[in-house]
């Protein structure tokens, strides 16, 4: 746990004395837990809750953070991801805040070791297990917001499962661009009724929500909504019968699948970098833990061969 080592022990002791475990008071946690139960009971339904003020700006993951703080206990092991990585600013800050206010918990960067994972933008490449909970930070919870500005009307539309105007948006995309151009926040229908905004995960991760073994909780702090994709639940991206949903393509000009320049992986979601010196385009696994694991597996294999 490198971050724990960076923070002084005094600070930790102070924080744990001055704040309740998990920063939020017990009533706040209880409310979030009740909303979570309701969200699981009605898959995809946006449960309103009184999002508390957190010591960071709304829009920086306060929804996900409140979920994590309400669920975490001393026996838990936490992983925090931002843009697929454990080392980016948002992930580091959230992790050290949780470490500071939840003394006794463990943190990790390995998916396999964590039982609680808070993430922004990505669902880990490695398949999750039944004993794991994934918490996603959501900026815009309502998929209908792009077609209907009034929340009153949106609530009626959700209640009646009236999503034809979202499909019209897909229709218009195909007319204009010959394909559906939504790159992230892909509208996804849960358990054949409610359509959710799948948070800023790329299309690549949408199929992972379908029939997931892990419980997926989505929290929007600014919009004060919690919703869930319970384990083993249908999650279907909106599509036409003859224009099926498809994930991002990582094929190059010659239709060959690009690979990660670091670990050589040919089946993960890739980020594009430009090498500062050579100006060359590089591709690397977006999920840094997965990349490390692949790299380790490769070196072990090479070691065995050599």
Partner 1 sequence: MSNEKVLEVRNLSKVYGKGCAKCFESTGPEHNTNICPHCGSIVAAHDISFDLYKGEILGIMGESGSGKSTSVKNLFFDEIPTSGQATFFDDGKQYDLFSLNAQQKRHLRNHRFGMVYQNPVLGLNFNVSAGGNIAERLLMSNLTNYSEIRERAIELLRRTEVLTERMDEMPKNFSGGMQQRVQIAKALATNPPLLFLDEVTTGLDLSVQAAILDLIMEIQRESQTAMIVVTHDLGVIRLLAGRTIVMKYGRIIETGLTDQILEDPQDAYTQRLVASAL
With CB under 8 A as the rule, give the number of residues binding partner 1: 17
CA distance 223 to 63: 9
Please say which residue, 95 or 189, places its beta carbon nearer to partner 1.
189
CA distance 77 to 69: 12
Please say which residue, 244 or 306, places its beta carbon nearer to partner 1.
244
CA distance 87 to 3: 10
User: Residue 196 in contact with residue 227, Cβ under 8 Å?
Assistant: yes
Q: How far is the CB of 161 from partner 1 (least distance, A)?
A: 9
Please say which residue, 42 or 243, places its beta carbon nearer to partner 1.
243
Q: How far is the CB of 171 from partner 1 (least distance, A)?
A: 5
C-alpha distances (whole Å) from 253 to each of 59, 174, 246, 250, 258 are: 37, 23, 19, 10, 10
* Residues 235-264 interacting with partner 1 (rule: CB under 8 A): 240-243
Q: Which of 213, 279, 273, 277 is nearest to 84 (CA)?
A: 273
Q: How far is the CB of 88 from partner 1 (least distance, A)?
A: 36
Binding mask 149-178 for partner 1 (x = CB under 8 A): -------x---x-x-xx-xxx-xx-xxx--
CA distance 132 to 25: 24
Pairing of strands 270-274, 281-285: antiparallel
Q: How far is the CB of 239 from partner 1 (least distance, A)?
A: 8
Q: How far is the CB of 237 from partner 1 (least distance, A)?
A: 13
Helix axes of 9-18 and 89-101: crossing angle, nearest 10 degrees: 60
Q: Which of 171, 165, 168, 218 is nearest to 190 (CA)?
A: 218
Please say which residue, 164 or 299, places its beta carbon nearer to partner 1.
164
Active site residues: 44, 260, 263, 285, 291
Find the DSSP H helices in the chain: 2-6, 9-18, 26-41, 62-71, 89-101, 151-159, 164-177, 206-209, 288-305
* Residues 211-240 interacting with partner 1 (rule: CB under 8 A): 240
Please say which residue, 145 or 282, places its beta carbon nearer to partner 1.
145
Please say which residue, 174 or 300, places its beta carbon nearer to partner 1.
174
What is the SS3 assignment for 119? strand
C-alpha distances (whole Å) from 77 to each of 4, 112, 125, 229, 242 are: 14, 10, 19, 21, 44
Which residues are near partner 1 by CB under 8 A?
A: 156, 160, 162, 164-165, 167-169, 171-172, 174-176, 240-243
């Amino acid at each position: 746990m490198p971050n724990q080592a960076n923070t002084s022990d005094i600070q930790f002791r102070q924080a744990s004395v001055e704040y309740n475990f998990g920063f939020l008071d017990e009533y706040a946690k209880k409310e979030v837990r009740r909303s979570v139960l309701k969200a699981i009971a009605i898959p995809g339904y946006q449960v309103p809750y009184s999002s508390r003020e957190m010591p960071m700006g709304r829009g920086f993951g306060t929804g996900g953070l409140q979920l994590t703080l309400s669920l975490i206990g001393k026996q838990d092991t936490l992983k925090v991801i931002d843009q697929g990585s454990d080392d980016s600013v948002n992930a580091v800050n959230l992790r050290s805040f949780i470490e500071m206010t939840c003394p006794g918990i463990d943190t990790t960067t390995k998916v396999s070791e964590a039982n609680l994972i808070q993430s922004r933008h990505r669902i880990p490449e490695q398949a999750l297990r039944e004993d794991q909970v994934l918490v996603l930070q959501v900026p815009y919870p309502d998929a209908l917001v792009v077609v209907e500005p009034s929340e009153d009307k949106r609530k009626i539309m959700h209640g009646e499962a009236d999503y034809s105007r979202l499909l019209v948006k897909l229709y218009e995309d195909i007319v204009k661009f010959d394909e559906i151009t939504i790159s992230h926040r892909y509208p996804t229908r849960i358990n054949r009724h409610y359509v959710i905004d799948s948070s800023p995960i790329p299309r690549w991760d949408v199929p992972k929500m379908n029939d997931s073994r892990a419980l997926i909780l989505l929290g929007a702090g600014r919009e004060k909504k919690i919703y869930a994709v319970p384990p083993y639940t249908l999650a279907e991206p909106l599509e036409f019968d003859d224009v099926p949903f498809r994930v991002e393509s990582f094929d190059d000009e010659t239709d060959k699948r690009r690979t990660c320049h670091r670990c050589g992986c040919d089946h993960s979601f890739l980020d594009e970098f430009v090498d500062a010196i050579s100006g060359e385009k590089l591709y690397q696994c977006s999920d840094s833990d997965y990349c490390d694991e692949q790299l380790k597996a490769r070196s072990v294999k090479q070691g065995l061969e050599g």
